Amino acid sequence: MSNQEFEARRDKAVARAIAFSSTFVADRAENAEVWDVEGNRYIDFCGGIGCQNVGHRNAEVVAAIKDQLDQLTHTCFQVTPYKSYIELAERLNALLPGDFPKKSLFFSAGGEAVENAIKIARYFTRRPALITFTNGYHGRSYMGMALSARMVPFKEGFGPFPGEIYRLPFPDEFHGVTLEDTKRAFETLFRSDCPPDQIAAMFFEPVQGEGGYNIATPEFLNYLRALCDEHGIVLVADEIQTGMGRTGRMFAMEHFGITPDLTCIGKSIGGGLPISGVVGRADIIDSVPPGGLGGTFGGNPVACAAALAVLEVIEQDNLLQRGLDMGNQIDTRLRKMAQRNSFDCIGDVRALGCMNAIEIVTDRSSRAPNGDLTVKIVDRALKNGLILLTAGPQRNVIRLLVPLSAAPSLVDEGLDILEKSIEEALV
């Protein structure tokens, strides 16, 4: 059956609210490559939106899933606990930085982790208000939408949203937002709208994913940590996309030497299976009494087994160092592209480990976002056999989420396609 035939069936059977960017239907995948139903090959610089750090169908992960299928697939941990959930909590508690007792709990999707971090923070502090930041993204549930900044298409038409959420500027040098702007916004908030003793938590991403790969600075995160300590506010790092080795550290916050109180995880922890969680201070998490948190499928045993295998693969295959090396390989090549006179459309190159992005602009002097050209580049890349993702409020950022297990030669091949696609889009 052809791609076109499957697309006709999809359009007839699947809700149109489910957006898609590819013009093909996937048939199989291996490591950092995908083949469609017609046998065409694509290099995957998307990884299921950051869910395949160890690569598609990693052999150890697949074996762990198969072994777990022979034992049990579901009992509901709250009814009949099982060892894979416990073992995963132990592993993550040991891996999370911070000199304090830690605990973990698991859910099915990243948005659920965010929701439950809010519940924990509000219960612990007995306060209502939440702080989030411009260009942040924290999921598509109602609370996730309220925390997130992007209106179209994530929020438009779905209001009203939960209240007591305050959005402040995320420092962003390329777009002219300074830490002093953020500090003044905090002062205004505390003076005019919400005193700090009413704020339960601050949510931030160390690198904003949907927001355009804006990278936090140590000064900004130190400021947040000190502010939270001063006022008894829970500091929550959303590491759903940045975690599990994506930045060359198990958690992106390790680059900054600052420890949040709670960390939300998801995406690549499951190696392609749905699992998320909250890891953090035991005293904060355990403030919620038994029964206050949970869910039927949270921490499913098959997903937990996959997650344990993911952690093993990251360690045994030295994927943290490979992530740093690959990130440098990609960053070097992107910066070389940006130096081409004919590529005046590349306004900025950003990277933390293997979270890489280029911002596409009308020209470097104006820095005006060029979303139309970005779409053309991504479309040309797909026709040339490379899967890419956009990001940013103007959708003018191309972000790369290459599986950390990809061979350097494959990465170079993908970057060749990207460069060729920019050339073609500029014609």
Domain map of the chain by residue range? 3-54+318-426, 62-316
Measured CA to CA, the distance from residue 173 to residue 286 in angstroms comes to 39
The H helix count followed by the E strand count for the chain is: 13, 15
Q: Give CATH superfamily name and number for 3-54+318-426.
A: Aspartate Aminotransferase, domain 1 (3.90.1150.10)
Give how far Cα 321 sits from Cα of 135, 209, 327, 354, Å: 29, 22, 10, 10
Span 177-204, pLDDT tens digits: 999 999 999 999 999 999 999 999 999 9
Cα–Cα distance measured from residue 366 to residue 376, given in angstroms and rounded to the nearest whole number: 20
Torsion, Cα 297 302 303 307, to 10 degrees, reads 150
- Cβ-based neighbour number of residue 98 at 10 Å: 16
CATH class of 62-316: alpha beta
Low-confidence stretches of the chain (pLDDT < 50) are: none
Say what the pLDDT of residue 244 is: 97
Cα(110)–Cα(149) distance, integer angstroms: 17
The tokens of 182 are what? 């953020």
The secondary structure of residue 145, as a DSSP letter, is H
pTM score, whole prediction = 0.96
Pairing of the two strands 199-204 and 234-238? parallel
Is 216 within 8 Å of 172 (Cβ atoms)? no
Q: What is the pLDDT of residues 138-185, one digit of tens each?
A: 999 999 999 999 888 888 888 899 989 999 999 999 999 999 999 999
